[in-house]
Chain A
Amino acid sequence: DQQVKQNSPSLSVQEGRISILNCDYTNSMFDYFLWYKKYPAEGPTFLISISSIKDKNEDGRFTVFLNKSAKHLSLHIVPSQPGDSAVYFCAASGMGGATNKLIFGTGTLLAVQP
């Protein structure tokens, strides 16, 4: 049972435009959501996160929006740059108890065309 879903395996965007990556989840117990970025042959690196008590968090070009009623979050990258081309993973946490366990989506490959 996939509790965190990224339904778009890939996305192509022109440089300078907005990239919007989507993520859906099923477990209402999640209380933190995180986005990771992964280049080939490297481990994922943390990008941005949001607590379930908020609906928006912004960090430079990256903004994450959370819609709890729809169990949906999105990552907006504005403006997109060629260096943003990577696989983006959405992850969820906070299912109760002291744990660092994250539930990841399957990833979206973003290609930013120059």
Chain B
Amino acid sequence: KAGVTQTPRYLIKTRGQQVTLSCSPISGHRSVSWYQQTPGQGLQFLFEYFSETQRNKGNFPGRFSGRQFSNSRSEMNVSTLELGDSALYLCASSLGAGASGYGYTFGSGTRLTVV
């Protein structure tokens, strides 16, 4: 079966711009979570969605937002980009909610560079 698809794979944006990243989960998976990976910080939790509802949110400023559609696809948006937003953004899908991360399948990520 197809894995988790994240688009685009690479992106270069200028400070102050906004960006939208997309994640298509594994077919049948209804939960999508987003993480930011930066050197020295590991993976930081951004949001978690299940059945179009945000169930959990990490400690990020309001410039970071997301949503999930009825087909379980998810998008995250970052407005007013800052240099520090340069990172690998990873999406993970799982079958249901409350699985404590079991059954997570990660996508390959979107590498965002802000210049």
Give the tally of cross-chain contacts (CB within 8 A): 76
Task: Tell which of B69-77, B79-87, B92-100 binds the partner.
Answer: B92-100
B43 contacts across to A, CB distance below 8 A: 44, 89, 91, 102, 104
CA distance in complex: A100, B31 (Å):
8
Q: Is A70 an interface residue (CB 8 A)?
A: no
Q: Is the CB of A100 within 8 A of B42?
A: no
Knowing A32-B101, A93-B101, A107-B42, the reply to whether A100 touches B106 (Cβ < 8 A) is no
Quick one: which of B98-115 are within 8 Å of A by CB?
A: 98-102, 104-109
Smallest CB separation, B112 vs chain A (Å):
14
Chain B contributes a number of interface residues (CB within 8 A of A) equal to 29
B18 contacts across to A, CB distance below 8 A: none
Q: Is the CB of A102 within 8 A of B101?
A: yes
Q: Is the CB of A100 within 8 A of B108?
A: no
Q: Is B45 an interface residue (CB 8 A)?
A: yes
Q: Is the CB of A100 within 8 A of B101?
A: yes
Chain A contributes a number of interface residues (CB within 8 A of B) equal to 27
A98 contacts across to B, CB distance below 8 A: 55, 97-98
Q: Is the CB of B108 within 8 A of A42?
A: yes
A105 contacts across to B, CB distance below 8 A: 42
Quick one: which of A84-101 are within 8 Å of B by CB?
A: 89, 91, 93-94, 97-101
Q: Is the CB of B101 within 8 A of A101?
A: yes
**A residues touching B (Cβ–Cβ < 8 Å)?**
4, 6, 31-32, 34, 41-46, 49, 89, 91, 93-94, 97-107
Given contacts A6-B42, A91-B101, 20 further A-B contacts (CB under 8 A): A4-B42, A32-B101, A34-B101, A41-B108, A43-B90, A43-B92, A97-B98, A98-B55, A99-B48, A99-B97, A100-B31, A100-B56, A101-B56, A102-B43, A102-B101, A102-B104, A103-B45, A104-B42, A104-B44, A107-B42
